[in-house]
Chains A and B, each alone.
Chain A
Amino acid sequence: MSREKTEFAEFFQASWEPCLRTVMASTGSVQLAEDQVAEAFARAWLSWRKVRHHPAPRAWVVRTALNVGASWWRRRLRELPLLGHDAEALSDEALNYEAGGLDAALLAALRHLPDRQREVIALRVFLDLDIDTISAQLGIAPGTVRAHLSRGVTTLRQELSLTQAMEADR
């Protein structure tokens, strides 16, 4: 058990930030991501004997965090008839940071991608997962992962080009 504790502690220290950034990119909220990732690591500790043998334990944490978020949203869906207003409020508080120019534009574009495209991009970028692993994690076909990635990147590339052109004109 002592070895397991050490392993988990090392995994946690090395994985907290990439997992948090992945979930931040997926959810668009720093505060929400922090809570979801903490919950996911708590569950990882409960199931550490299984998670430590997982082919991509960081992806397990991220997927669990996103499921936590989904459960949170499902509860909100039941509780809040004015979901649209609430969702907008959540977006407004999202990624609340001092940024401007390219960063702000890219992150705004990322936030407006469909959920699945954003998840695929986040897993690709921050956990460096290949298509097959993302497919296994999200439970969707590899071809669907490629399609989400391609569409998401295309949208972001357009935003990137537009922003770079505007900055060049200044």
Chain B
Amino acid sequence: MNDNDVHDSAVLSAVRDSISRLPTPPAPQVEAIKARGRARRLRRVGGLSVAAAGACAALVVGLTGGAPAARPAPQAGPRSVHHATAVHLVAFTVAAGPDGTTTLTLYPGQVADPSAVRQALAEHGIPALVTAGEFCRTAVQPDPGVGDVVTLSGPRQIQIPASGQPTARPGPIVINGSNIPSGVELSIGYRQDSQENEISFSLIVANAPLTCTSIPDHGPHTGD
């Protein structure tokens, strides 16, 4: 250790002492932090992600096997949605919406085959990478923000009951394919396990190397 190190150490110690003498607010309860995280996940629209914690989750995609495309679903409730240009599958529907948008709807407790979802979206002109059980991003998240491409519709999509446990209702996912620039794809990942059910969206650079994780990557990213 030379003289400069000693002097540097003294300066840094003085800074540490000065900051350490500042009063700080008490730490919040860890449960409050977790609730903030859950709320963030539910409302996230810019690296758009929707999830629900616990067994009451409603936005559910089963992963127990591939569902053949275009097989008619058992018709009940919202699954009876039909449209002249709709592709109607077991666990999801993809339909042309107004203003050139495309509506993707995933149904709780069903099985959505990623390749079938991808194919259905491609037929509507939406280039997508669809993955189950993992969430993929490229190092660069191209413009525009995913919030300009994907919106979640449904006025009562997120509900926070008296128990405080937020739940997500399966609302249609409206995709504005015309806002996806050339060379860009929409990455859609979904997962279901005993704890959480989640779907996440991001924009990726076509043919660029992917980083795929078992949970959505909410950490630091350029442009976040």
Interface set of A (CB-CB < 8 Å, partner B): 1, 8-9, 12-13, 16-17, 20-21, 24-25, 30, 34, 38-39, 41-43, 45-47, 49-51, 60, 63-64, 67, 71, 95, 97, 99, 102-103, 106-107, 110, 121, 124-126, 149-150, 153, 156-157, 160
- The complex places the Cα of A153 from the Cα of B10 at a distance, in Å, of 10
Q: Is there contact, CB below 8 Å, between B33 and A42? A: yes
Q: Check B156 for interface membership: any CB of A closer than 8 A.
A: no
Which partner residue on chain B sits nearest A97 by CB separation?
B22
Q: How far is the CB of B126 from chain A (nearest CB, A)?
A: 27
Q: A8-B30, A12-B33 are in contact. Are A99 and B22 (CB under 8 A)?
A: yes
Q: Is there contact, CB below 8 Å, between B24 and A64? A: no
A34 is contacted by which of B17, B20, B25, B220 (Cβ under 8 Å)?
B25
Q: Check B78 for interface membership: any CB of A closer than 8 A.
A: no
Q: What per-residue 1/0 map shows which CB atoms of B9-23 lie under 8 Å from chain A?
A: 001101111111111
Q: How far is the CB of B84 from chain A (nearest CB, A)?
A: 40
- The complex places the Cα of A8 from the Cα of B21 at a distance, in Å, of 27
Interface set of B (CB-CB < 8 Å, partner A): 7-8, 11-12, 14-25, 27-28, 30, 33-34, 36-37, 40-41, 195, 213-221, 224
The 4 closest A-B pairs by CB, nearest first: A42-B37, A16-B27, A42-B36, A45-B37
Q: Chain A binding site: helix, strand, loop or mixed by DSSP?
A: helix
Q: Is there contact, CB below 8 Å, between B23 and A97? A: yes
- The complex places the Cα of A132 from the Cα of B25 at a distance, in Å, of 31
